[in-house]
């Protein structure tokens, strides 16, 4: 389930890895016990590989990062947020398609 291209981020690294990133970041909020989150893994890995160097894909475990989860209003998992230049630029809840996430990440695609 773990890809070298998808970094796990927690509350201590969220600012550096997401908010201060030089590229757009797709953040996958999920949990180890979440079946739909596991279902999204191949899509996230594909996006991470396709956008390597142009965007980042990271995951946040809601159980390990409750403050970050609360701060961004995550009510269910999986939830995917896109950040550009430190600002939330898009959101998608639930299992979704690669195209939907790519459109959030790269609106010009």
Q: How confident is the model at residue 108, as a pLDDT?
A: 64
pTM: 0.94
Kindly state whether residue 72 falls inside one of the protein's structural domains. Answer: yes
* Residue of 21, 31, 34, 89 marked catalytic: 34
Structural domain boundaries enclosing 55: 6-105
Kindly state whether residue 52 falls inside one of the protein's structural domains. Answer: yes
Q: How confident is the model at residue 1, as a pLDDT?
A: 43
Pairing of strands 25-30, 79-84: antiparallel
Query: Is 81 labeled as catalytic in the residue annotation?
Result: no
Query: Is 94 labeled as catalytic in the residue annotation?
Result: no
Other Cβ atoms closer than 10 A to 97 = 10
* Residue of 37, 56, 57, 104 marked catalytic: 37
Kindly state whether residue 18 falls inside one of the protein's structural domains. Answer: yes
Q: Supply the CATH number for residue 72's domain.
A: 3.40.30.10
Kindly state whether residue 69 falls inside one of the protein's structural domains. Answer: yes
**What are the per-10-residue average pLDDT scores of the chain (109 residues)?**
82 97 97 97 96 96 98 97 96 97 83
CB neighbour list of residue 25: distance below 8 Å, 6 or more residues apart: 17, 18, 55, 56, 57, 58, 82, 83, 84
Kindly state whether residue 98 falls inside one of the protein's structural domains. Answer: yes
Kindly state whether residue 1 falls inside one of the protein's structural domains. Answer: no
What is the rounded distance in angstroms from the CA atom of residue 10 to the CA atom of residue 80?
A: 15
What is the rounded distance in angstroms from the CA atom of residue 41 to the CA atom of residue 2?
A: 8
Q: How confident is the model at residue 109, as a pLDDT?
A: 56
Counting every residue written for the chain, the total comes to 109
């Amino acid at each position: 389930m773990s890809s070298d291209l998808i970094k796990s981020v927690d509350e201590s690294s969220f600012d550096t890895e997401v908010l201060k990133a030089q590229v757009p970041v797709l953040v996958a909020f999920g949990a180890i016990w979440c079946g739909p989150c596991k279902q999204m893994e191949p899509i996230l890995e594909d996006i991470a590989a396709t956008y390597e160097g142009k965007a980042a894909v990271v995951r946040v475990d809601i159980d390990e990062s409750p403050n970050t989860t609360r701060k961004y209003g995550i009510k269910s998992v999986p939830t995917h947020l896109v950040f550009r230049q430190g600002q939330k630029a898009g959101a998608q809840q639930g299992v979704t398609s690669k195209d939907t996430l790519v459109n959030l990440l790269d609106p010009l695609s």
